[in-house]
Each structure stands twice: as C-alpha cells, then as structure tokens.
Structure 1
C-alpha cells in the first residue's frame, strides 16, 4: 500500500514538472513572437526645435501618412534639440525598443554614422530624411539641395537688379558645417554668385538666429554699413537674426535671402525686410519618407520611389528621391504656401502686416 502511494506521488510530481516545463516553453515562444515579425514600428528622429517646420509640419504629415498606409504601424518620435549626442542616444533607444525602420534627419551626418551602423547591425533599416546621413542607409528623401542654393543665389541677384556687379559687396551666412545640406546650398549659391558679385564676408551661422546676428554684426564692422549690397542667408531662422541687425544698423532695402518658408519670413517678405525664401513643400517630403518607411517595413520594392542615387560623405551610394524646390517672393505667396494650405491669409496677415498684405493682394 505504502509502495503504491509512493509511486503514485512520484508520478504526480513528474507529471506536474512536465506540464510546468511545457508551460515555460510556451511562454518563451509567445515572448519571441510578440517581439518579432508581427511588430511594425517606425522611428522618426528630427534634428532641432529651432526650425519650426519639424514639429509643426514634418512630424504630423509623416505620422498621418504612415497611419493611412499602415493601420497597424506604430510611430516612435524624438527631437534631438540640436544635439548630436542626444540624437545618438535616441537611436540607441530606438534600437532597444525594437523599431523596424528609422527615418532620421541627422544633426551631424558624420557623427551619426556609428549609430546608424549599430541600428543596421540589429536588422533595422534606416532612411535619411532631408539630410543625407553617412553610413549604410537604405534610402534618402530630400529636395535637390544644390538647386536650392542656385535658386537662392539667383533670387539675390534678381533682387539686387542693376546693383549686381562684380564690385557689389555681398555678405554670405551659410548653414551648419556638419550638415551636408549646408555644403550643397553653399555650392549651389556660389555657382550662381561667383564672378557676378563680390562675396566680401562669408561665415557659417550654424542655423541659429543669434549666431547669424553676431556674424552679420561682424560683417558690418568689417565692410561698412553703406557698402553692403546684399545678404545671402541659407535659411529663414538665420535671416530673422540678420534682419534685426540690419534694421539696428539703419540698413534698409538690402536684399536678404532665406529658406524654409517660415511664417515669420513670409511676413518679412511682405514688410520688405527679406526679399525671398525657398519653399520646400513639407507635406510631399514627409509623405515620401512615410511611403519609403512603410515599403521597407513591409519588404516592398522602393525603386519606383527612389529613382536616383546620391553618394554620402562616407561613400555610400544611396537610392534617393529628390523633390523640386521653389523660390518664394511677394509675387507668388498665394500660389505656394496659401494654395498648399501651409498657412491661411489670416495666419500671415496679422495686424502689423495688414497694410502690406492689402498692397500684395492678400485679403
């Protein structure tokens, strides 16, 4: 009797252990599945909060398009606030979260290379957004950035009119040296301006209004306020700082370029303190990046989207989709940012600009 009881007890224990082991094995399978191929997560990493476009336009346009294309896709978002070190940490965080694709606009295209390599080593596909990052990226979407610089240079010459002579002194404030786009803007602008005007002062403004303002002040000291015939600013944020310095120095009616079609730049154009900006429609760019992200996450072909190739600073040949920029002046505000519903007339024509808007036919 005791022997039978003992045997029965052993059998029960063995059976219980077997069930427990099977249950543990099943739990492990579930964890593997939940973190595996069923997950569809896209990381969007944008570079700074100084430029208003990223939070106000790029992120929501990207998010909306991803949801329209892939209802089950999840978006992870972070902004580096202008810090390359912060952005590297954000990539590491995305890797830890197990995202499938990262779309990144690099703060520093060279510094981010090792982070991109780390992501790719984990099977994550990377898209360079707006700025061509170094490393093994799968695709790149942006505008033709050398063309941007050419348009900026030509708009400056057009605004200078008959004052655009080889002796006319122009101040040139470029973007951040570590941003590959800045080099392309600069190259494009020089291809148009060189030989037609005298670039008497040239410095980087780092995409920051206060830095650009400091450089503009230094240029006035070096050249003389009365001798400045035009100012090339690589973007609108810097143009804002430059315009303030020009006004303070009593310099008026001097052409000033920009880029990004920020609301404040359009108001300056109406007021006559900035002559032009470059309109790069954010919606098609963000939607193109979203489409590439979804195609990559679903292992679909991207050749019909990325129809050209760009070579990054690391020598990687990257399938690319390049959109066309447009020069924006007082004459085509209606046909660009208002037509595309980037801004309304009410957004632009606040009380201080009401008279200028009426004069420009914006009512």
Structure 2
C-alpha cells in the first residue's frame, strides 16, 4: 500500500523512504532464505508487504540483506513477500517461527491483522521489528520515516505548485492510501494540516494504494466536480499518481499539480515531463540499514535504545522504541541534488529517449 528525502547530507548522517505502500498480487512473492538455510539461532526474517511497489524488491530487500551480512557474517536472512495478501503474510510469519527464526522484521500488509501473528511469535521468544509501517502488537522496535511530515511535505508541495491559485475556492481532489496501512492515516493527517483552510478539498477517497482504484476515483471526481473545476490533485504515492495522471490525460486535463511519494522512477520521469509536480523521497538504504542493525542487536541480546532513540504508540496501544528518519520533497528543481546525487537513479535511467527533451529543459542533461 502501499504505503523523506533526507538528501545526501542526511544519508551521510546515516539517517534512513514509503507509503507508503501499494497493493498488488503479481505472484506468490515468496522466496527462500537469501543467505543460508534460514533456520537456527542466527536467522533473521524479512517479511515485505507486496511486490508491486517497486522499492521493496529492488531496494529494501538487497540493502537489508547486505547490511545483515556486514554486521553478522554467519547470520542468515529468510525472506518472503506477502504479495498484498495479509493472510499470506500471517502464514509466512508462522512458517518462520516454526523454522526457528529468532528475529523477524515485518512491513505489515495490514497492521491490525498481523497483531495475532506477532503475539504468537513473541510468545515463543521471537523478537519482532516493525519496518516502514507500525504493526500492532508487542513489537520490540520500529523503523520508518516521520510519516506526518511526509503528508506535510506533500501538502506544501501542492500549495507551492498552485501558487496564487491556492485559494479557499480552489477545488482539490485528495486520493489517500489504504486505511489498513497506519502510514496512510498519518500521511493524510499531515496533508490536511497543511491544506485545510488554504484550499477546498472537494473530493476525498481512498485509492487503496492501487493505480487502478486511484484512476477510478479520479474519474469519479472529474464527473462530480467537472474537468475545468479541478485545481490540483493530492495523491498519497507515486503508484496511484500514475493511474491518476492517465485519467487526467484522458479527460484532457493538463497543467495542474499532482503529488506523489516514494520517488519511484516512473514518478521522477513524470515530474520531468510535467505530468506530476512532486514526490517524497524516503531514502531506502538508511531505513534498511537501521532495520538490519536493530535486528542483529536484538539477535545478539544487545540494547537498542541508542539506535531507536524515540518512542511511538501503535494502534494497539503498545509503546515501541522507534527510529524515525527524515523525508524530503522532490520537484523538478532538486532531482539532481536528491535521487541522482544519492545514487538512487542515474541521469541515464531517468532520461530515456522519451524524456530526453524534457530532461534537457529541466537541466538534467
């Protein structure tokens, strides 16, 4: 769901995106241990929520595995992806516990639904780290970004893009994430904090972190409000922004702000092309590195308070030691100084032939 740019300076400070998440079910999404048998006393589990959101398989998983190997040469990582199915994720957690995995890092597909699985794991001596999304239940630690701040950045980017058109009469469409993802509520909270009283949020619905659902909601908003009456669109992440952008194009609507999150390559390319106005970059490596370090420390029985230096309260009322990293807003003006500078994407990856002219105009080539 679905579901931050700390920029280079913040990355260098070892701060650790996304959404945020997105739903999807391309495949079973499961794989066996990436660096060993996955059983025994030095095994760490990694459970990610879906395989449609580009970040998880491409960045989070390899970064996490590499950091665990660096910190604990004889540790193994057992990995599985829920493919947007909370029932599958519960089964995956149970399987890891049965295999003898001692620490499980989980990005919950459904933060409430996973609670009983976490309770069962903890009752058998397993330590659980909530990754990117704050799962309910007795988790030992939580690593993510300041998600309210993510929403604030999105809201402010929308206002900035609207400029003088940001008035209480300006009608804005708001497509939020999946309510099963606690991050979605925090993104929404932050965005409302910035937008309320500044613009008229004339249509607001959940896009469930799915581009298809977001496209349908956008189409309904156009029908309800009229194509000429929409000043801008808040999309909680880049995946949904892709579906929204296609709907806007089909309706003949252009030149209006459209937000996003996760700094996906397609989102960055839309920003270059002018069909999306902003995204939020949450640096994956620092987040994955922090999660790996917490997992290894828990495995080795070390104190984690120095790593997880604040506390948060989950939806189940549990107080959790947490590490919250800093998000960064990305527009066409700072692509070079954020995702390119941090090595997330090269200019060549962004500026494919279809975007060459736009890249030149944006100063990327």
* Deviation (angstroms), 1:345: 0.7
State the distance in 1 between where 2:194 and 2:280 align.
Answer: 16
1:181 is aligned to: 183
The answer to whether the 8 A contact 2:167-2:198 is kept is yes
Say what the alpha-carbon RMSD is for the aligned residues. 1.1
Contact 1:217 1:245 in 2 (8 A): yes
Give matches, 1:1-363, under 5 Å: 39-363=41-365
Mapped partners of 2:147, 2:232: distance in 1: 22
* Cα displacement (A) at 1:38: 6.8
Higher RCO structure, 1 or 2 (CA under 8 Å, sep 6+): 2
Q: Distance in 2 between matches of 1:38 and 1:83?
A: 27
Displacement of 1:362? 1.2
Report the count of equivalent residues: 328
* Counterparts of 1:181 and 1:39, CA distance in 2: 32
> Under a length normalisation based on structure 2, what TM-score does the superposition of the two structures give?
0.89
* Residue pair 1:50, 1:208 contacting (<8 A) in 2 also: no
Preserved CA contact (<8 Å) 2:40 2:100: no
Deviations 1:181-220 (A, max 9, x none): 0000000000000010000000000000000000000000
- Gap regions ≥5 residues in structure 1: 1-34
Higher helix share: 1
1:257-312 deviations in Å (ceiling 9; x for gaps): 00000000000000000000000000000000000000000011111111110000
- After TM superposition, which residue ranges in structure 1, 4 or more long, deviate above 6 angstroms? none
SS of the aligned residue for 2:258 comes to: coil
Paired with 1:152 and 1:91, the residues of 2 have a C-alpha distance of: 34
1:4 maps to none
SS in 1 for 2:333: helix
The aligned counterpart of 2:20 is none
C-alpha deviation, 1:62, in angstroms: 0.3
Q: Report the Cα distance in structure 2 between the residues aligned to 1:290 and 1:340, rounded to whole angstroms.
A: 20
Deviation at 1:39, TM superposition (A): 2.1
| SS across alignment from 1:173 | strand
- In our comparison, the structure showing a higher alpha carbon Rg is 1
SS at match of 1:172: strand
- Secondary structure (helix, strand or coil) at the match of 1:332 reads coil
